[in-house]
Amino acid sequence: MLPLLLAACTGTEEGSPTLRLAVLTDGGATLRTVTTGGIAGQPAPTEVTVPVTGGVSLDTLPGGTRTALTLAGGIESRDVNLATPQAFAALPFSPVCLTTTAASAARDRLLTLSACPNAAQQLALYRSDGTLIWTATLPTFTPPIPGLDTPPIRLAVLGDTAVVARPALGGGSEVLRAAPATVGDPVATVTTPLPSPAIRDLAPYGSSLLAATDTGVQALGSTGLPDAAQAVAAFGAQRVDRLWTNASGDRSLLAAWRDNTVSGTSSEPLRLWDGVRANAAIVAYIDRLRDVTLAPDGNLYALTPFALTRYDTVFGLQQGNWQPATLLGGLNDARAVTWLVP
């Protein structure tokens, strides 16, 4: 695993480790890179822009040298130059309309959902090398009339078990779990949907799965439903719409944000918790936050539809000085960001 570099971070460009960020922009039609820092006297890696078709999301793979790019038609991995595409194993169902992918905390599993119109929803669990572990057909889904307060479909994976939260017809969410009945089964067994309070997002955190709810951040209990008794007190009892974590066992960070297009405010605070302090710290107030990546160089990278901004988590958590810096501006409908090691 890539070693953590937080302790060595100085908060300045000189001497900080060089990472490359991959950004999915133009509504999923363009994949590009940007270099985050560098060693003095050494040239920065060449930045790359490539067209893609139907881009959905990005996930860093173990080791940090490749990214998993989810496209509507399938998943592929690419290197730090966005080259040498390697397709993940073909899915055994048709049609394929991938809409979202979630990685495990260790990045060794990727769970993806196919949701084609007028077709059953399908799950697929992959290893990070692109081999297929299992697939599952979900029970019939009747989507509610969409609105600003309709919960989204969210995925999470822990081991070889998947959790799906999707909007329920009568309000709130419903939760399903999928796992093979026997190790090695290529088809997973899916539980009956359980009604749940609205789940806005899901994220792995250590050995748990966390849910963003209207009353704060809560761990999923043994049934797969949010458990108010296992709430993350650092975020209080206010509504949360998005969650992001890193994969560090030494210093696990958890970021949370409420969607300002729902709250009707000009922006909402992006908050960060280090797993220790009593209250999460406010990084910045952000309008229309699309994605966050917590990188091993000690920085948080926040993506809006229009810009990519860096925040120093070391100085921010210690001194309240987040040292924001815009890395990319003038973006068009940016969707996802992740880090890579050149």
Over residues 66-116, the pLDDT tens digits come to: 999 999 999 999 999 999 999 999 999 999 999 999 999 999 999 999 999
Who's near 30: CB < 8 A, 6+ residues apart?
24, 49, 50, 51, 52, 55
* Other Cβ atoms closer than 10 A to 24: 27
Q: In this structure, are residues 258 and 239 in contact, taking their beta carbons and an 8 Å threshold? A: yes
Quick one: CA torsion of 281, 287, 290, 291, rounded to 10 degrees? Answer: -20
User: Do 322 and 316 meet the contact criterion of CB atoms below 8 Å apart?
Assistant: yes
Beta carbons of 24 and 58 less than 8 angstroms apart: yes
d(Cα 315, Cα 230) in Å, to the nearest integer? 29
| β-strand partners of 309 | 302, 326
Residue 303 DSSP class: E
| CA geometry: angle 115, 270, 82, nearest 5 deg | 55
pTM of the entire predicted model = 0.93
Q: Closest Cα to residue 19, out of 4, 37, 42, 5?
A: 37
- Ranges of residues in the chain with a pLDDT under 70 are 1-17, 38-44, 148, 247-251
- Which helix or strand (DSSP H or E) is residue 162 part of? strand 161-167
| pLDDT for position 5 | 37
Convert the pLDDT of each residue in 294-311 to its tens digit: 999 999 999 999 999 999
- Cα dist. 31→45, 154, 304 in Å? 16, 23, 15
- Tokens 């017809």 locate to 169
CA 152 to chain centre: 14
Positive or negative, the CA dihedral 216, 297, 127, 289 is: positive
For the record, the structure tokens of 10 come out as: 């100085």
